[in-house]
């Protein structure tokens, strides 16, 4: 029994678990965990080359046909910097897909909504498939949809916090009214959080820290894969509604007392 | 000529082409590299012909781990 496929831009995904590549203790472990996760969309960051010190080539570890790369603009503080980073990313990785993230404050890494909207509008015009990382702000997500982003990526809770869906009430509104895909990004710390997001009707989740820093990242990747599949399947199967009153699931013929 | 490459001063030994600078830095054949000169992205097919000027600011990036 298969879940429905997810289409974003020109790509079709069978896995609704997107993954980041940060914080793994080694590139080999990253590769193994990402393969185990079943992920088909994998984020990468950009950094300045150190000409004296040629480090490990991450692309070597991501050279699998199922991995589509999603470069991010982490490190930029303004829309102008984001557009420059996007153009560099497109050049470096030969993809017009972009995770737009503008978080000027390193302490909480919260995305700047004004710069993000400005950058998204310009990047869409430049032909990018834009997936913006945003606060769980339904109004902002609508505005981003209007300027032509391919999906929105609202946070569950702050990046790397592992706190789960603290923004749940607002994520529900975003999911209810969005015409583009909703990918819950940031804060997902456990497979149960991922399953919860999927049961709510999120189209996908993006997980990085929770897999990368787990005691066994490969097993954790599998756990997330199963949770995302289960959560999506539950959503498609239509969950039973919660009720304020008890509802018997067995017949209430009190047969023990009957003579 | 002197150039600023990723905020460090580099002396270009041969000619004035961007490709010569990248060759000198052992980056010419490296995959996943993007280059900008004075904040304008220069596409790979143009590296060979692009002429640098004294004190041009070159930015070279590559992908790395990130979420």
Provide the ipTM: 0.93
Task: Test B26 with A209 for CB contact under 8 angstroms.
Answer: no
Q: Which of B5, B32, B36 sits opposite A59 (nearest CB)?
A: B32
By percentage, how much of chain B surpasses pLDDT 70? Answer: 100
Set of chain A residues whose Cβ sits within 8 Å of the Cβ of B61 = 46-49, 88, 92
Set of chain B residues whose Cβ sits within 8 Å of the Cβ of A59 = 31-32, 63
Query: CA A53 from chain center: how many Å?
Result: 32
Nearest partner of A37 among A227, A194, A224, judged by Cα:
A224
Distance CA A53, CA A112 (A): 33
Question: How far, CA to CA in Å, does A8 sit from each of A41, A105, B23?
Answer: 11, 30, 39
pLDDT confidence of A252, banded at 50, 70, 90? confident
Set of chain B residues whose Cβ sits within 8 Å of the Cβ of A24 = 65
Domain coordinates in residue numbering, chain B: 2-61
Query: CA A254 from chain center: how many Å?
Result: 50
Length of chain B: 67
* Residue corresponding to tokens 């969950």: A239
Q: What is the pLDDT of residues B34-44, one digit of tens each?
A: 999 999 999 99
pLDDT confidence of A258, banded at 50, 70, 90? low
Query: Right CATH number for B2-61 from 3.40.1160.10, 2.40.50.140, 3.10.20.30, 1.10.730.10?
Result: 3.10.20.30
pLDDT mean across residues, chain A: 94
Q: Looking at domain A6-237, what is its CATH homologous superfamily?
A: Aldolase class I (3.20.20.70)
Put simply, whether A48 touches B (Cβ < 8 Å) is yes
Q: Which residues of B touch A (CB under 8 A)?
A: 5-8, 10, 25-27, 30-36, 39, 41, 43-44, 59-67
Residue A243: its pLDDT value, please? 84
Nearest partner of A196 among A239, A154, A158, A231, judged by Cα:
A231
Give every residue of chain B whose pLDDT is below 50, as ranges: none
Query: CA B20 from chain center: how many Å?
Result: 9
Look at residue A117 and tell me whether its pLDDT is greater than 80. Answer: yes
Q: What is the pLDDT of residues A209-250, one digit of tens each?
A: 999 999 999 999 999 999 999 999 999 999 998 888 888 888
Query: Has A99 been annotated as catalytic?
Result: yes
Q: Are A166 and A136 in contact (CB under 8 A)?
A: no
Stronger pLDDT, A243 or A205, i.e. the higher one: A205
Give CA angle at A63 (B41, A24), nearest 5°. Answer: 90
Both tokens of A36, joined, read 């185990």
Residue A43: its pLDDT value, please? 97
Question: How far, CA to CA in Å, does B31 sit from each of A199, A244, B4?
Answer: 40, 59, 22
Q: What is the pLDDT of residues A121-162, one digit of tens each?
A: 999 999 999 999 999 999 999 999 999 999 999 999 988 889
């Amino acid at each position: 029994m298969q879940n429905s496929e997810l289409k974003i831009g020109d790509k079709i995904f069978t896995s609704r678990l997107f993954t980041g590549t940060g914080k793994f203790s080694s590139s080999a472990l990253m590769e193994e965990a990402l393969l185990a996760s079943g992920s088909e969309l994998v984020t990468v960051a950009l950094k300045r080359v150190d000409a004296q010190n040629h480090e490990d080539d991450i692309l070597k570890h991501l050279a699998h046909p199922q991995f589509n790369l999603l470069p991010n603009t982490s490190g930029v503080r303004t829309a102008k910097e984001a557009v420059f980073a996007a153009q560099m990313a497109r050049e470096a990785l030969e993809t017009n897909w972009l995770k737009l993230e503008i978080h000027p404050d390193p302490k909480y890494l919260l995305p700047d909504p004004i710069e993000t909207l400005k950058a998204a509008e310009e990047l869409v015009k430049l032909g990018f498939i834009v997936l913006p990382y945003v606060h769980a702000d339904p109004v902002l997500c609508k505005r981003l949809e209007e300027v032509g982003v391919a999906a929105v990526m609202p946070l569950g809770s702050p990046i790397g916090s592992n706190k789960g869906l603290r923004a749940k009430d607002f994520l529900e509104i975003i999911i209810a009214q969005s015409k583009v895909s909703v990918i819950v990004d940031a804060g997902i710390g456990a497979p149960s959080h991922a399953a919860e997001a999927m049961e709510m009707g999120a189209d996908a989740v993006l997980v990085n820290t929770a897999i990368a820093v787990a005691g066994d990242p490969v097993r954790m990747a599998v756990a997330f894969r199963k949770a995302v599949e289960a959560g999506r399947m539950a959503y498609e199967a239509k969950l039973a509604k919660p009720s304020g009153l008890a509802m018997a699931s067995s017949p209430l013929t009190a047969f023990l007392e009957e003579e | 000529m002197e150039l600023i490459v990723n905020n460090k001063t580099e002396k270009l030994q041969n000619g004035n082409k961007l490709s010569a600078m990248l060759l000198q830095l052992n980056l010419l054949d490296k995959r996943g590299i993007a280059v900008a000169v004075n904040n304008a992205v220069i596409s790979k097919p143009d590296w060979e012909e692009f002429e640098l000027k004294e004190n041009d600011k070159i930015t070279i990036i590559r992908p790395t781990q990130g979420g």
